[in-house]
Amino acid sequence: MRVEFRFCPACGSRLEPREVEGRALPTCPSCEFVAWPDPKVAVAVVAHDRRGRLLLIRRGTPPAKGEWALPGGYVDATESPSVAARRECLEETRLDLRVEGLTGVHHVLVEGGGLLVLAYAGELLGDRPEPTAEAPEFGFFDPGSIPELGFSAHREAVAAWRAGRA
């Protein structure tokens, strides 16, 4: 969910719509603040085991609750995205990850804004994921038999990963 600023986060003045570079944006009449509609940044982890099987989680929380997905989540402003990929994998599956590299950048339009999903491939260090609230169920899948995923960016990321291995 996107937060709409009504007051300036820098000085507290009420924001007013003003035309900036051809479009109306909430701007501060007292300082230089402009509420640019920046995308949020997330990571998705194309995590495989030593046998080359892909680890998927069944999501325990919305959005796409109950559907298959890659481990992943939002990037903190103070961490590198590859660190975020490793952290999210660990948080959701309790498995550490050796990040191999970026497989793609996927842009998604979501309600009220945009999302950039940075997809990383990596090898799992361990083969026994533990269920968490975010990921109560897991599956290891051969690249040729991957089930339908709940997010378009994840479908694109898996397709890019499979193309890279072919």
CB-CB neighbours of 131 under 10 Å: 15
Identify whether the C-beta of residue 147 lies closer than 8 Å to the C-beta of residue 55: no
Output the smallest distance, CB 101 to Zn ion, in A: 41
Q: With respect to Zn ion, which residue has the nearer C-beta, 6 or 128?
A: 6
* Measured distance CA(91)–CA(95) in Å, rounded: 8
Contacting residue, 2, 7, 10, 163, with Zn ion by CB under 5 A: 10
Contacts of 13 (CB under 8 A, 6+ apart): 7, 28, 29, 30, 31
When asked if residue 24 is in the footprint of Zn ion (CB under 5 A), the reply is no
Q: With respect to Zn ion, which residue has the nearer C-beta, 20 or 110?
A: 20
Site string (26-45) toward Zn ion, x via CB under 5 A? --x-xx-x------------
When asked if residue 20 is in the footprint of Zn ion (CB under 5 A), the reply is no
The tally of CA atoms less than 13 A away on the side-chain side of residue 84 is 19
Q: With respect to Zn ion, which residue has the nearer C-beta, 31 or 163?
A: 31
When asked if residue 18 is in the footprint of Zn ion (CB under 5 A), the reply is no
Tokens 């999501």 belong to which residue?
59
**Residues near Zn ion (CB under 5 A):** 8, 10-11, 13, 28, 30-31, 33
